[in-house]
């Protein structure tokens, strides 16, 4: 399976949820751009866009700190 970069999709979904498009390596949680509710909303949107099922137990704050890290998290899940 080829590796797909979902960073732009992630950034677009964050912009839809927060009305702000962050940089790929911008802090999302520590800056307050994402909170627990928007993380769940983002996960639901990413599940719909990628077909990747993500359990709540799999969501770790360190994986959702930047769009780049979210992309890496998705890569691992999709290639597992």
Q: How many whole angstroms from its chain centre is CA 57? A: 15
pLDDT tens, position by position, 55-72? 888 899 999 999 999 999
Contacts of 60 (CB under 8 A, 6+ apart): none
Q: How many domains does the chain have?
A: 1
In a domain, 33, yes or no: yes
Q: In the structure encoding, which two tokens stand for residue 14, read together? A: 């964050």
In a domain, 2, yes or no: no
pLDDT tens, position by position, 36-58? 999 999 999 999 999 999 988 88
In a domain, 1, yes or no: no
Q: Which domain holds residue 29?
A: 7-78
**Cβ neighbours around 53 below 10 Å, total:** 9
Instruction: Report the CATH number that the domain containing residue 73 is assigned in CATH.
Output: 1.10.1200.10
Q: What is the pTM of this model?
A: 0.90
Residue 70 to residue 61: CA distance in whole angstroms: 10
Asked if residue 21 lies in contact with residue 14, where contact means CB atoms within 8 angstroms, the answer is: yes
């Amino acid at each position: 399976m080829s590796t797909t970069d979902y960073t732009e999709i992630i950034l677009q979904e964050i912009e839809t949820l927060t009305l702000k498009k962050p940089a790929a390596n911008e802090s999302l949680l520590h800056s307050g751009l994402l909170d627990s509710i928007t993380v769940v909303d983002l996960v639901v949107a990413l599940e719909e866009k990628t077909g990747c099922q993500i359990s709540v137990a799999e969501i770790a704050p360190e994986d959702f700190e930047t769009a780049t890290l979210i992309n890496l998290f998705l890569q691992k899940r999709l290639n597992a």
